[in-house]
């Protein structure tokens, strides 16, 4: 229900972004520590791999947290593994900071992967038995694009979602 309300705010333009110059290493390391402290996430092994210092982007920090939370929640729901491992890797590509969020799950079928960022998309029939409204990855895409970036996904020993945000 919260995602539907949030989606409504996005669609009507009632969700302003508050962009702040943010240093990625500090931001991602803080996110990892905060995520690990939540008891509900004990079943997920999250690792943020070495992030280069002194790389900055203008992002809405709260919405970036929502993006990462949505990606991790998606992995928890659909990876279909006993022990979920999620890694966050990053690097520079031209004028973009690239964040890859990868899980060790079963991935997404090749015929559906190009649709996972569409609103209300719910993949295979087996996914429809799980709770959700098909908005999580749509919200990720919407927010990344609103911050001037791009998003894509591919299967690579599980699902990898790539976020590209402009470096300042």
- Whether 67 and 48 have beta carbons less than 8 Å apart is answered as no
Work out how many domains the chain is built from and give that number: 1
Query: Tell me: the pLDDT tens digits for 147-159?
Result: 999 999 999 999 9
Residue 100, domain extent:
2-166
Q: HEC string of 153-167?
A: EEECCCEEEEEEEEC
Quote the longest CA-to-CA distance of the chain. Answer: 44
Considering the entire predicted model, what is its pTM? 0.87
Query: Tell me: the pLDDT tens digits for 25-77?
Result: 999 999 999 998 886 767 889 999 989 999 999 999 999 999 999 999 999 99
Task: Look at residues 159, 162, 160 and name the one whose alpha carbon lies nearest to residue 149.
Answer: 162
Percent of the chain whose predicted confidence (pLDDT) is above 90: 69
From its phi and psi, is residue 65 left (phi > 0), alpha (psi between -120 and 50) or beta? Answer: alpha
Residue 37 belongs to domain with CATH number: 3.30.565.10
């Amino acid at each position: 229900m919260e995602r539907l309300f949030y989606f409504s705010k996005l669609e009507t333009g009632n969700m302003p972004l508050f962009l702040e110059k943010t240093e990625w290493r500090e931001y991602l390391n803080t996110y990892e520590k905060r995520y690990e402290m939540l008891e509900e996430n004990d079943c997920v092994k999250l690792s943020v791999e070495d992030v280069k210092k002194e790389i900055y982007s203008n992002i809405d920090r709260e919405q970036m947290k929502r993006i990462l939370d949505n990606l991790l929640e998606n992995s928890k729901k659909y990876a279909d593994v006993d022990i979920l491992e999620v890694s966050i890797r990053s690097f520079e590509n031209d004028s973009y900071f690239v964040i890859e969020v990868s899980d060790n799950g079963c991935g997404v079928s090749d015929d559906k992967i190009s649709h996972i960022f569409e609103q209300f998309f719910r993949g295979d029939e087996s996914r429809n038995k799980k709770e959700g409204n098909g908005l999580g990855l749509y919200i990720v895409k919407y927010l990344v694009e609103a911050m001037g970036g791009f998003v894509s996904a591919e299967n690579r020993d599980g699902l990898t979602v790539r976020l590209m945000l402009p470096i300042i």
